[in-house]
Chain A
């Protein structure tokens, strides 16, 4: 799997907010086996000392995907992205332009506009979007090479609210890396996303707010792996009627 030409092996991406402590965050990152962690620049500022929160994130050895979480306007998101590039020296940016403060759903109009501006400036944009196909197309037109459709509202843990739309997305964009971002609550949700053919899953709250974050990170990693293997193995079709799994021809004979 490649994101903007970079080969990535782990199909689980992890957010770094809301953990009980940086020590527990580090355990969870390790248990998840992730290669990519997202970091919010909206509120947490780098101090360059290496001793702070940044330092603990850099110590994980993961690739950092800065995000524009909490940005409500194009201008805010673009400014945050530029700051992120400066701080981390990465062209990657997970672009969020929030349209509604209660549902945190993306403002897809602002998202496309911000994606166009940032792509033009050489950013490699990972847009947090809905499962709308037309919006997906517009994002690709704007220069995005990855799409991050939501599963459910951020932090809601509702799982995939519209699996059919995600399946349609897979069919419509067969070559574009699709990462389900937001809404995953349980390992079964992550497995379901992967079974639908998504390339990866990004989650945060489901691990950070679990009673045992490291344990949940491990469970999510295995679910992602299982879902991916299941997808690749071409699952059987559902049937309405039972079919015996053992042969019925030839009855047992009692001598």
Chain B
């Protein structure tokens, strides 16, 4: 039996990979209900490795490219690409973004209007990352939970992990050196007047924004990256910047309802890359930073590769000593 601490995104992804390899798995979750303490519920749900490469290491692409098919087996993945735009006075941001990334092609005003008619006449230049995709994080977590349960994984809610737990996926709660919180803030808007089908990124020197369509006129907006351990609700400044940026994207957002706001702490290591580490006989998978949905599949595969041989060795030894 393989035991996992934490039924957040990472813990569930590991449970899935292990169950796929035929292991019996139990997941312990201190939260009372699914998703209670998972920071992934505030995620954008972008599978955007090429865009992320702008500020992240090459690993986001090499590891992240596996995420598309993996998630498609679990939940609905919208493969519509990412459209990156900038107001005309911030065109230098677009040039810079294009120079630091690959997997995109330049689009002009009429191409933008074809892709997203709602943006017709609003932007004259952009970048289209055709291979990128997005998913709905909460739905994905629900679907993943159902999937692993279907596969026989036991999830104990309201249950702290026992001392000998084998794999720790508890995010900021893990006692790992160098792990730090990076605060992110988001809002969900309801605005049926605007139809946008793919992830948009609005480049701006001070308040970059991403907007991810969630269907039924709902949009998730986010973009703040703050080196802080505070998990207090979203601040007025961040919220006003996010909302102003959405308004800059399309004035019809002025009439949107702000359905929800949220703030979460993303665990990160100094290089902002995830790590699979062994400490005190326990395996830890942590530090997925802002790339949870993108990197969880590849990292869960690595964790399962580490755990399965170890488990079979132990079984083998047990049989020998018996």
Contact = CB atoms under 8 A, between A and B. Distances in A.
B54 to A, nearest CB: 9
B215 to A, nearest CB: 32
A45 B205 CA distance: 22
B270 A209 contact: no
A44 B96 contact: no
Contacts of B227: 44, 52-53
Given A51-B178, A211-B100, A21 B272 contact: yes
B177 A51 contact: yes
B72 to A, nearest CB: 29
A45 B177 contact: no
Contact of A53 (B55, B57, B180, B271): B180
Contact of B271 (A23, A47, A49): A23
B33 interface: no
A155 B205 contact: yes
A22 B181 CA distance: 12
Contact of A20 (B55, B96, B177, B226): B55
Contacts of A209: 96
Contacts of A47: 181, 228-230
A44 B180 contact: no
B179 interface: yes
B180 A45 contact: no
B56 interface: yes
B271 A52 contact: no
Contacts of B230: 45, 47
A53 B179 CA distance: 9
A47 B183 CA distance: 13
A209 B226 CA distance: 17
B205 A56 contact: no
A211 B101 CA distance: 11
B182 to A, nearest CB: 8
Interface in A21-58: 21-24, 26, 43-45, 47, 49, 51-53, 55-56
Contact of B228 (A22, A24, A43, A155): A43
A51 B272 contact: no
A26 B178 contact: no
Contact of B56 (A20, A43, A51, A53): A20
A45 B179 contact: no
A44 B271 contact: no
B226 A51 contact: no
Given A20-B55, A20-B56, A211-B100, A49 B229 contact: yes
Nearest to A43: B226
Given A51-B178, A55-B180, A211-B100, A45 B229 contact: yes
B59 to A, nearest CB: 12
A49 B270 CA distance: 15
Contacts of A51: 177-180
A45 B271 contact: no
B56 A52 contact: no
Contacts of A55: 180
Nearest to B96: A209
B208 to A, nearest CB: 11
Contacts of A20: 55-57, 272
Contacts of B179: 51
Contact of A22 (B55, B177, B180): B180
A22 B57 CA distance: 13
Interface string B66-100: 00000000000000000000000000000010011
Contacts of A155: 205
Contacts of B268: 21
A45 B228 contact: yes
Nearest to B229: A47
A32 to B, nearest CB: 18
Contacts of A49: 229
Contacts of B55: 20
Contacts of B271: 21-24
Contact of B181 (A23, A24, A26, A52): A52
Given A44-B227, A51-B179, A52-B227, 20 more contacts: A20-B55, A20-B56, A20-B57, A20-B272, A21-B56, A21-B270, A23-B270, A26-B270, A43-B226, A47-B181, A47-B229, A47-B230, A49-B229, A51-B178, A52-B181, A53-B180, A56-B180, A155-B205, A211-B99, A211-B100
Interface of B: 55-57, 96, 99-100, 177-181, 205, 226-230, 268, 270-272
8 contacts: A20-B55, A20-B57, A21-B268, A22-B270, A43-B228, A45-B228, A51-B178, A51-B180
